[in-house]
Every structure is written in C-alpha cells, then in structure tokens.
A and B are shown apart, each in its own frame.
Chain A
C-alpha cells in the first residue's frame, strides 16, 4: 500500500481533533526530534481498541515522514513497546535505503512468541533480505504459531523449487500426523509450491 493511500485511510478514521494532532505530528516528524514522543503516544491519540491497526498505521506514517537513520530505527525498536516494535517492522517496507542493516530487528521479532510481532516481521522486507535458512525457519514458525501464510510476503516466489523447505515441511507434517494432530492447511499450500515447475 502506498504511503499516500495509507495517510488517506488513517485520516478517514479520525475525528477533527485527532486529525489536527496527526497533521501537526507528521509536519514535526519531517523537521524536529519531537516526533519520537508522538511515536510513543500514538495509541492514546488514535485509540487502538476501536481500530487496532490505526496506531500501527499512524506510527508507520510518522516513521516514513521522519526517515530515521539506522541507529535511530534500532533504538526505536529496542526501546519500543510491542506496538512500537510492530510499527518499526511494518515500516521497513516503506523506508528506502535501509538495505540489509535492519535484519537484526526482523530476527529479534522472529525469536519472540508474540504472533503480532512475528506476523509483522515476515513482510516484504524479510522476503527481500532474509537468507534461505532464516526465511525457511520464519515460514515454519508461522505454521507453528498459527500466523497465516498470507502474512508472509512473496511466499509463493520464495518457496518455489525450495527442496530444503519441502523437506522441513514434510517432516513437520509427519510429526503432526504422528501426534494425531491436523496438518495445517497453510502447510499443504506452501508445500505444493515447493515442487519445481515442469520444464
């Protein structure tokens, strides 16, 4: 989703006072360090309960406007609440020139058991930068924790022809069957994609 569209979608949900807060915060994000306080306080201005994703979207807009450098991004993540960390991960797809330097943040999130962080970690940035082993482990973790396959960006392209991923999935399916448990439907979906295409 384009940032301009995201901004329109967020504004559609906000009342007048909150829109004024957002406009002020975004303007400051481009020019002053004060925006970090707004980044922390986003949910109490854009009530997260009514629209859980509103605070995420607002924080992504702030990150996009502020264009923090890598040390700042790392600090925002490591000093962040789970919600702030999720926003940093989701914003990686919208921040140019990060390169592979943000990978430690993705890897940190993939070590957690907070499925909201795991789902945010497997977006387009992970599809582009995670190495083969890390990406396979991420897919398997999603299947383990119930994060839907559709949260994994570009999975059909990355899974295609991946024989090692096929082996890991087959072993996991066998383990589930041996325990008398269902094999997740998402496992069958991704496994089907690992078969090399016919020449």
Chain B
C-alpha cells in the first residue's frame, strides 16, 4: 500500500514517526503551514518557519525515503493579529519556490472580517501563481463556516476544481461535494473523522471517489501519523479494492497537488556523500552512470 499523506505537520513530529510512516507505506506527504501551537508575534517568525518547510524538513523527510512538499500561507488564526499581516506581502517570493504545491492552509477559524480579507487575498495569490489552494474548514460552527468559505471561493479567481476543502465530516460533505471542490477528510484518534466513519462516507459518496483525499493532519495534539494507513486497512476490510485504496491514498493527492506542476515524487538520496559521489554533471564524469553511481 503506497500512501501520500496530503496534510501532516511534520515539523511537530519525531524521526520515529518518519520511520513508522515509511514502514506503513508513506512515500510522499504535503506539509501545510500553520501556527506554532501558540500565537506568533512577528512576521519574521513565519519566514524562518517557511524556510524550514523548504529546507530542513524536506531534508529530514528524504532521509527517511519520503518526498516532502509544502503549502504556504498566513493561517486563519493568525490572520487576526495585525502584527502578522505583513506576511501577506512577503508570500509572493515564497510562492514561486519549487517545493510549494499549493497556497494553504487558508480559510476560517473564528469567521472574522480579518479572516475574510486574508482568505480572499490568498485565493487571489493562488490564482496569480498557478497554484491550487488548501482550504481549512473551521472546527467550530463548521457548517456555517463552510457556507461562508464557499461564498468567498465562488467570488475568487480560483476555479473550484483547484480548491481542496479540508476537515470535512458527515455534516459538511454534501455541500462540499455540490461545490465542485476536492474533498479532504482528517482522521484523528478522538476528534474529526475516524477510519470506520471515513469508510461509510466513501461508500455513500462512491461516485466522488476520484476527488476524495484522506489525511492524518497530525501535529502536536493527540493525533496519529499512521491514520492514513488505518483508513486503507478499513477500506480493504469493508470490501474496497486495492485500486480503490490506491486512488484515495495515492493518486488523488498526487492529482490535486500535481495541479501545481511542481510535484516531484522522486526522493533525493541524502546519504552523506551520495550527491557528491553521484555528481557526475558537476564533476564532468560520463553522464550515463549519473543516477546510479551514488545510490
């Protein structure tokens, strides 16, 4: 079972998690930018974080055989702090980077006017940079939050088939499906969705299975980076085929983030010296052995 976790905050996870994820079949992931567990107080704190999502964290993931990409944005929660708003002006220089495959997570937290502005501005940034958008739906007042989210999406320059609505559940899946957006579900030990409920949604919405994504959304809270695998197992136990599992856990996230034109699922060899030894182009060695020499 090959797994692509389309939403996981690896910066808050350990190397043990990376090992366990690889063993469970995870070969690719996308790490959306979010808060730090407590509020930031300055834009510079975002920039160091974005740099880590484009530098250290992909290196860490590659050491464990996992391809790492990210989505960048000013998150909804911190869009409410005027001290953090200058991030919106710096985002364009980040959104051109190779490792960035969407704008996100954007959306609503407490549904404030400041969040309206940040969401609209960042949907426009996604359209300007040829990127899709990962849109978080609020945990509190979710159904109303989804309706307000869809209003802003419809007013934006971004077509709904380039928008992934995340953290959906039984109460929001119908409206989300009707919107034409991609459908994301986060599987948690206690809150959000669980594997068996996910399987019921997949059954009920079988005709939409080409645009359903499942993620662990694992972070510092009580969460589990192997929840994607658990969904795959629950699907097989419920009679879904290997191909169904592959579609939901691999091909759909690859298709959605592939809309960026920047997804590269080959994992760079990070064994110290591998790049150096394999650097036939930079060293002027014969080109035919370049990819295998250092591996």
Contacts and interface: CB of A to CB of B under 8 A. Distances in A.
B237 interface: no
Interface of B: 51, 54-56, 58-59, 93, 96-99, 261-262, 264-273, 275-284, 287, 290-291
A119 B276 contact: yes
Nearest to B93: A79
Most chain A CB atoms below 10 A, which of B59, B99, B264, B275: B275
A167 interface: no
A52 B275 contact: yes
Contacts of A114: 55-56, 59
B96 A53 contact: no
A53 B280 CA distance: 8
Interface of A: 1, 5-6, 9-10, 12-13, 37, 40-44, 47-57, 60, 79, 81-83, 85, 90, 112-116, 119, 145-148, 150-151
Nearest to B56: A114
Contacts of A1: 282-284
Contacts of A119: 272-273, 275-276
Contacts, number: 108
B266 A37 contact: no
B143 to A, nearest CB: 38
Contacts of B278: 52-53
B273 A147 contact: yes
A180 to B, nearest CB: 22
A148 B17 CA distance: 28
Given A9-B284, A51-B290, A54-B281, A85 B55 contact: yes
A44 B98 contact: yes
Given A49-B266, A55-B98, A83-B98, 14 more contacts: A6-B281, A6-B282, A41-B96, A47-B266, A48-B266, A48-B268, A49-B268, A52-B268, A53-B275, A56-B281, A82-B59, A119-B273, A119-B276, A146-B272
A49 B98 contact: no
Contacts of B98: 40-44, 48, 55, 81, 83
Contacts of B59: 82, 114, 116
Contact of A148 (B55, B273, B284): B273
A109 to B, nearest CB: 11
A81 B279 contact: no
Nearest to B261: A44
Given A40-B97, A49-B265, A57-B282, A82 B272 contact: no
A90 B264 contact: no
Contacts of A148: 272-273, 276-277
Nearest to B67: A49
A27 B287 CA distance: 25
A56 B51 CA distance: 18
18 contacts: A13-B287, A37-B96, A40-B97, A41-B96, A49-B267, A51-B281, A52-B278, A53-B280, A54-B281, A82-B56, A113-B56, A114-B56, A115-B270, A115-B272, A116-B270, A119-B273, A146-B273, A148-B273
A114 B275 CA distance: 12
Most chain B CB atoms below 10 A, which of A52, A113, A151: A52
Ranked 5 nearest A-B pairs via Cβ: A49-B266, A146-B272, A82-B55, A148-B273, A81-B54
